[in-house]
């Protein structure tokens, strides 16, 4: 550690202990050390975020290096440059003097250059008879030479961190896309599963991301999103396996029917006597009924969104920004309404399974419109769910009743 680098500024610029510490931390370059000045500059540019530099600071450093006459920084040639502010401003792309002073101070505070102020604060050099510089006052570039290896390592770390950030961001983008499209496909095709809960989890993960996330934020969100994607895939896998089982049962049923055609004809009675028995009083053999898979009615299709919003205008108040523009926003608003009306998550999940997510959201909108006349919204929804499972419920009459109550009798559903 050398104390020869410690220098106080001229004029009104104050000295601080932090500045003393930064100057004392600069070690003298080893004997014969030299480094290509533009390589150091590129490393500083790469490590800009580490030093907290603006683009203007890099422009000023670039201008300072242009005043150094050699391509390599070498202490044997002297490392002090002494341009005036006017000359620096021109080579720094015409920045104002106030900006120039701020950026020079930033470079000094970062420990990349030192001030070598003359007694009167001017920048100049004393030369010998041969014209060589003996003593110069201006900006000392020694820290760039002394810290070249350190700056290079910082630049490598910054570049590696940027790569990790980019890869985490790309992975999160792909995972978000997968989850978003899988949930949308499941909802649109009426797949069984708690898709409302998956939608809430997805919105929660995305909502926790700050506007300008760092790598830690991205990796944390990526871990959560990957877990959610796995849960969504598992739910879809269960659904697809269930469909395959039903499909196999149906095929087996058709195969049994086809293979027993002759047997059915043989046992089928052809007259009233045969129905009562043969002449010997022996009963005829009867064909056992073939077990058939239970037929589950398909969920009713959702009505046009515009009509639903006209019939159930109150639910729009619970949408994002007080409005609803698509089915996804309607389903999100229905979750809010469900909580507000005290309907349990299990009751709403059962309604989604029986009616379909869109129709369950419409039912919540209808219940909201009639909430002042319904004692228990949860019990009412469970009753609608049981009727829907029996194939005894349709949203049409409920919507028509609300239309009449609202005086909108001319509204058509097609």
Contact at 8 Å (CB) between 388 and 395? no
**Bridging pattern class, strands 124-127 and 114-116:** unpaired
Q: How far apart are CA 349 and CA 355, in angstroms?
A: 10
Q: Residue 45: is it exposed, middle or buried by C-beta count within 10 angstroms (0-12/13-18/19+)? A: middle
What pLDDT band is residue 308 in, cutting at 50, 70 and 90?
confident
What gap in Å lies between CA 75 and CA 68, rounded to an integer? 12
Tell whether the model's pLDDT for residue 199 goes beyond 60.
Answer: yes
Q: How many whole angstroms separate alpha carbon 207 and alpha carbon 296?
A: 38
Which pLDDT does position 364 carry in this prediction? 93
pLDDT of res. 393: 78
Q: Which helix (H) or strand (E) holds 139?
A: strand 133-140
Q: Which residue has the higher pLDDT, 68 or 407?
A: 68
The residue that leads in pLDDT, 9 or 268, is: 9
SS3 133: strand
Q: What is the pLDDT at residue 269? A: 38
Band the pLDDT of 88: cuts 50, 70, 90: very high
According to the model, what pLDDT value does residue 414 have?
39
Which residues, listed in sequence order, are joined to residue 140 by a DSSP beta bridge?
Answer: 80, 114
The widest CA-to-CA distance across the chain, in whole angstroms, is 147
Of 235, 177, 241, nearest to 206 (Cα)?
177
For residues 414 and 411, give the distance between their C-alpha atoms in angstroms, rounded to a whole number: 9
pLDDT of res. 28: 62
Residue in the block written with tokens 């106030």: 98
Work out the pLDDT band at 410, boundaries 50, 70, 90.
very low
Confidence of residue 337 (pLDDT cuts 50, 70, 90): very high
Task: Output DSSP code: residue 94.
Answer: S
Nearest-Å Rg of the Cα atoms of the chain is 40
Is the pLDDT at 66 greater than 90? The verdict is yes
Alpha helices per DSSP H over 189-296? 195-207, 215-259, 261-267, 272-276
* Per-residue model confidence as pLDDT tens digits over 225-257: 898 888 888 888 877 777 665 555 555 555 444
Task: Kindly state the average pLDDT of the residues 16-29.
Answer: 59
Q: Kindly report the average pLDDT of the chain as a whole number.
A: 78
Given a contact cutoff of 8 angstroms between Cβ atoms, the answer to whether 129 and 10 are in contact is: no
**Bridging pattern class, strands 80-81 and 34-36:** unpaired
Q: Are 331 and 196 in contact (CB under 8 A)?
A: yes
Say what angle helices 357-369 and 395-406 make with each other, to 10 degrees: 30
Task: Flag whether pLDDT at 157 surpasses 90.
Answer: yes
| Closest by Cα among 408, 395, 341 to 371 | 341
111 pLDDT above the threshold of 90: no
CA distance 247 to 137: 89
Check residues 111 and 298 and name the one with the higher pLDDT. Answer: 111
Helix/strand/coil for 116:
strand
Residue 170 pLDDT > 80, yes or no? yes
Q: What average pLDDT does range 68-75 have in this prediction?
A: 89
Name the E strands within 252-355: none
Q: Report whether 199 contacts 150 (CB < 8 A).
A: no
Return the axis-axis angle of helices 97-109 and 17-24, rounded to nearest 10°.
60
Cα dihedral 354, 360, 364, 366 sign:
negative
Is the per-residue pLDDT at 68 higher than 80?
yes
Average pLDDT over residues 81-87: 91
SS3 396: helix
Distance CA 357, CA 337 (A): 14
Residue 281 zone, left/alpha/beta (φ > 0; ψ -120 to 50; rest): left
Name the token pair of 80: 């002090």
Q: Is the pLDDT of residue 285 over 50?
A: no
CA-CA distance, 179 to 163, in Å (whole number)?
Answer: 24
Nearest to 75 by CA among 3, 140, 8, 9: 140
Of the listed ranges 116-120, 220-224, 296-300, the least confidently predicted one is 296-300
């Amino acid at each position: 550690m050398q104390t020869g680098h410690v220098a106080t500024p001229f004029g009104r610029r104050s000295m601080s202990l932090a500045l003393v510490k930064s100057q004392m931390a600069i070690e003298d370059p080893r004997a014969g050390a030299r480094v290509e000045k533009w390589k150091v500059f590129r490393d500083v540019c790469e490590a800009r975020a580490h030093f907290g530099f603006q683009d203007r600071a890099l422009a000023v450093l670039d201008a300072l290096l242009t005043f150094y006459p050699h391509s390599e920084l070498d202490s044997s040639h002297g490392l002090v440059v002494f341009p005036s502010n006017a000359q620096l401003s021109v080579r720094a792309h015409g920045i104002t003097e106030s900006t120039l002073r701020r950026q020079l101070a930033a470079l000094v505070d970062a420990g990349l250059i030192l001030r070598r102020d003359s007694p009167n604060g001017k920048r100049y050099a004393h030369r010998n008879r041969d014209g060589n510089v003996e003593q110069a006052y201006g900006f000392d570039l020694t820290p760039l030479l002394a810290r070249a290896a350190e700056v290079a390592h910082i630049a490598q770390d910054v570049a590696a961190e940027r790569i990790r950030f980019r890869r985490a961001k790309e992975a999160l983008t792909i995972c978000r896309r997968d989850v978003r499209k899988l949930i949308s496909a499941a909802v649109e095709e009426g797949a069984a599963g708690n898709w409302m809960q998956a939608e809430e989890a997805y919105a929660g993960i995305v909502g926790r991301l700050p506007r300008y996330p760092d790598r830690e934020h991205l990796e944390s969100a990526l871990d959560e999103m990957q877990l959610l994607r796995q849960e969504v895939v598992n739910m879809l896998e269960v659904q697809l396996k269930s469909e395959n089982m039903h499909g196999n049962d149906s095929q087996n049923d058709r195969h049994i029917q086809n293979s027993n055609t002759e047997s059915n004809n043989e046992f089928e009675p052809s007259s009233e006597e045969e129905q009562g028995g043969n002449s010997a009083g022996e009963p005829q053999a009867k064909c056992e009924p073939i077990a058939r898979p239970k037929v589950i009615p398909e969920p009713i299709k959702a009505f046009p969104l515009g009509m639903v919003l006209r019939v159930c205008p109150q639910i729009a108040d619970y949408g994002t920004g007080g409005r609803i523009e698509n089915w996804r926003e309607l389903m999100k608003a229905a979750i809010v309404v469900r909580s507000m009306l005290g309907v349990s998550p299990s009751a709403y999940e059962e309604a989604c399974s029986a009616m379909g997510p869109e129709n369950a959201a419409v039912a919540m909108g209808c219940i909201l419109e009639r909430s002042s006349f319904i004692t228990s919204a949860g019990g009412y929804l469970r009753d609608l769910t049981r009727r829907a499972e029996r194939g005894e419920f349709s949203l049409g009459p409920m919507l028509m009743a609300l239309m009449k109550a609202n005086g909108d009798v001319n509204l058509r559903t097609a």
